[in-house]
Structures are given as structure tokens and as C-alpha cells.
């Protein structure tokens, strides 16, 4: 697994906002000589409409929204569609996209939590494949659940801290498997739970795995934390590799730049290792 990235992802910012260019800039500096980097394509409006309501896409395009976690940056729509395009490129190449803004809190007709468009879902829908979505961000992907609840061709698995933002994902329903976990769950219990679920799901017939790859479960993360060490991300990578399916991912959270680079590197090392 390699990376998708463009410096365009660093061109917009809001002062003091934790979802900042700096976190990805530092991570990219740490990773750029270690992995091949693919350029993202720009997602089209037609691509967005595979997932989002037309009215909602129009509102994002015209900046007609108000959410303290989702400021209306200048040229936001350009950057959001480039991040969605990064997910599409990642799906085609089996890569991890480091583009921002992230996406798993964006539903069919709502935004939130630094997310404007659901990048991962747009790439999954464009692929048309039966997909297992694994969300290992420390927060629940309420947007992804909103998009996929009840769908037979996509299963959504999320492990997330509770209590915590956005407060959803307290129970499993239909094709959505939610595991709210203690903020201090730590490596062993987290990996046991994830491993058990992946083992169970490996018996179903998926054509690909799509990852909401969040690294804010790291023990030092200022916004979330699940008490995880860097080596836990290497183990997560190994577990996902064992699924033995085409796999791609998008970066969601992870808010300390140096740690983010190290944690992504650990994950990729785990995924790229032989088992
Ligand atoms: Zn998160």
C-alpha cells in the first residue's frame, strides 16, 4: 500500500483549528521518502451525487452551511472535491489517501466534525464493489452509517470511544456493526476485539476493504485517544492484510503531526509486511 497526496491539501486553513494543514504537512514530510505518492484526481459533481443529496451538494458548493467544526474556507468546494478524488484514486491504486478535509462524519445531507463530503463512500460507490468498510478512527463515523444503514452490499464496522463525539454508534443495526469502547481500552483489548470481528467478517464474500483510517486513537492524541501505542497501528495493518482482499483507505483523524506520520508508517509497515 502506498499513498495519495497533493500539496493542494495544505492550502486552506482556519486559525487555531485542530484539523489543520500542519498535522498532514508533518506526516507527509515523515512519509514522503518512504512511499510512492500518487496524485489525486478531482471528483466530479456526478461522483458526489452517488452518495449525497443534490440539494446538499449545492449547499456545500455555494457555502450555504453553518457549523463551528466546518468553517466555510475560501474555495472549500475545490479542496473537498479534490479530497473526494483522492479517495477515488486510492480505490483504483490500493493506496491510502492523505488528502484533507476528512469525511466520515458527512452523511447524505449533512456535514460535521471537520467533514464536508464522505470521501470514502464516494469511492466505494464509484467502484460498485461489495465492500467491508472498517473505521478505526477513534470517533464514530455517523455520516458513513447514515449512508449505508440497510444496504446489503456494504458492511460498516466501527470501533470508537464512548462517551465521545458525535455520540452515535451505541448499538449495532442490520449491516452496521458498532463497538463503543472505553477511552482507555488500550492495545490488547482493542486488538482482540478488532481481530475477532475481522475473523468473523472474513467468512463473508466481500470484494474489497475500504478503510476510514483515523489515528486519533493514539494515546497522546489531544482530541480523542483510545490509549493505543504506535505498534498497535502496525498490528491493525497486519490484521487487515490477512483479509486478503483489495484494500484502500482515506485518512480521517489524527491530530499530532509527528505522531501521525509515525503511526501511518507503522500501519503501512504492518499492512505491507508478509504474514
Ligand atoms: Zn476522529
Quote the pLDDT of residue 80. Answer: 98
Quote the pLDDT of residue 104. Answer: 98
Active site residue 28: no
Calpha distance 233→206 (Å, rounded):
23
Quote the pLDDT of residue 105. Answer: 98
Distance 163 CA to ligand 1 centre (A): 13
- CA-nearest of 221, 219, 229, 220 to 270 is 229
Quote the pLDDT of residue 267. Answer: 98
Angle between helices 76-93 and 54-62 (to 10 degrees): 130
Contact 171, 147 (CB under 8 A): no
Mean pLDDT of 19-37: 95
Angle, CA of 221, 102 and 227, to the nearest 5°: 20
Calpha distance 162→179 (Å, rounded):
9
**What is this structure's pTM?**
0.97
State the burial class of residue 64 (Cβ atoms within 10 Å of its Cβ: 0-12, 13-18, 19+).
Answer: exposed
pLDDT tens by residue, 212-264: 999 999 999 999 999 999 999 999 999 999 999 999 999 999 998 789 999 99
Calpha distance 181→82 (Å, rounded):
33
C-alpha cell at 119: 470521501
Quote the pLDDT of residue 192. Answer: 98
C-alpha cell at 236: 491493525
Distance 216 CA to ligand 1 centre (A): 6
Catalytic residue, from 105, 139, 160, 218: name it.
Answer: 105
H helices within 94-218, ranges in order?
A: 119-127, 142-148, 186-201
Calpha distance 136→234 (Å, rounded):
13
Mean pLDDT of 11-32: 88
Contact 120, 85 (CB under 8 A): no
Domains and CATH numbers, the chain: 3-272 (3.40.800.20)
Quote the pLDDT of residue 15. Answer: 64
Quote the pLDDT of residue 275. Answer: 60
pLDDT tens by residue, 159-217: 999 999 999 999 999 999 999 999 999 999 999 999 999 999 999 999 999 999 999 99
- CA-nearest of 192, 203, 201 to 228 is 192
Give the DSSP per-residue string, 77-89. Answer: HHHHHHHHHHHHH
Distance 158 CA to ligand 1 centre (A): 11
Calpha distance 30→262 (Å, rounded):
7
State the burial class of residue 14 (Cβ atoms within 10 Å of its Cβ: 0-12, 13-18, 19+).
Answer: middle
Distance 160 CA to ligand 1 centre (A): 9
pLDDT tens by residue, 62-120: 999 999 899 998 899 999 999 999 999 999 999 999 999 999 999 999 999 999 999 99
Quote the pLDDT of residue 258. Answer: 80
Amino acid at each position: 500500500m502506498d499513498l495519495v497526496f497533493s500539496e493542494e491539501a495544505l492550502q486552506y486553513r482556519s486559525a487555531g483549528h485542530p484539523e489543520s494543514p500542519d498535522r498532514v504537512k508533518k506526516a507527509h514530510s515523515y512519509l514522503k521518502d518512504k512511499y510512492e505518492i500518487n496524485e489525486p484526481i478531482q471528483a466530479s459533481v456526478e461522483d458526489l451525487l452517488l452518495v449525497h443529496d443534490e440539494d446538499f451538494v449545492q449547499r456545500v458548493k455555494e457555502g450555504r452551511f453553518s457549523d463551528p467544526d466546518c468553517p466555510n474556507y475560501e474555495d472549500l468546494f475545490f479542496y473537498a472535491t479534490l479530497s473526494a478524488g483522492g479517495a477515488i484514486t486510492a480505490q483504483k491504486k490500493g493506496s491510502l489517501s492523505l488528502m484533507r478535509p476528512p469525511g466520515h462524519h458527512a452523511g447524505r445531507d449533512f456535514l460535521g466534525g471537520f467533514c464536508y463530503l464522505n470521501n470514502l463512500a464516494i469511492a466505494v460507490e464509484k467502484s460498485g464493489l461489495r465492500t467491508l468498510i472498517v473505521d478505526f478512527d477513534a470517533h464514530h463515523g455517523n455520516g458513513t452509517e447514515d449512508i449505508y444503514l440497510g444496504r446489503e452490499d456494504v458492511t460498516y464496522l466501527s470501533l470508537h470511544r464512548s462517551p465521545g463525539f458525535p455520540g452515535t454508534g451505541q448499538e449495532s443495526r442490520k449491516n452496521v456493526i458498532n463497538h463503543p469502547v472505553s477511552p482507555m481500552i488500550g492495545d490488547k483489548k482493542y486488538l482482540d476485539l478488532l481481530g475477532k470481528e475481522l475473523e468473523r467478517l472474513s467468512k463473508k464474500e466481500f470484494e474489497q476493504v475500504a478503510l476510514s483510517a483515523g489515528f486519533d486513537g493514539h494515546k497522546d492524541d489531544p482530541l480523542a485517544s483510545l490509549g493505543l501505542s504506535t505498534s498497535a497501528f502496525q498490528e491493525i495493518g497486519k490484521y487487515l492484510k490477512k483479509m486478503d482482499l483489495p484494500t484502500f483507505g482515506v485518512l480521517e483523524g489524527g491530530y499530532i503531526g509527528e505522531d501521525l506520520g509515525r503511526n501511518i508508517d507503522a500501519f503501512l509497515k504492518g499492512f505491507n509486511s508478509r504474514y
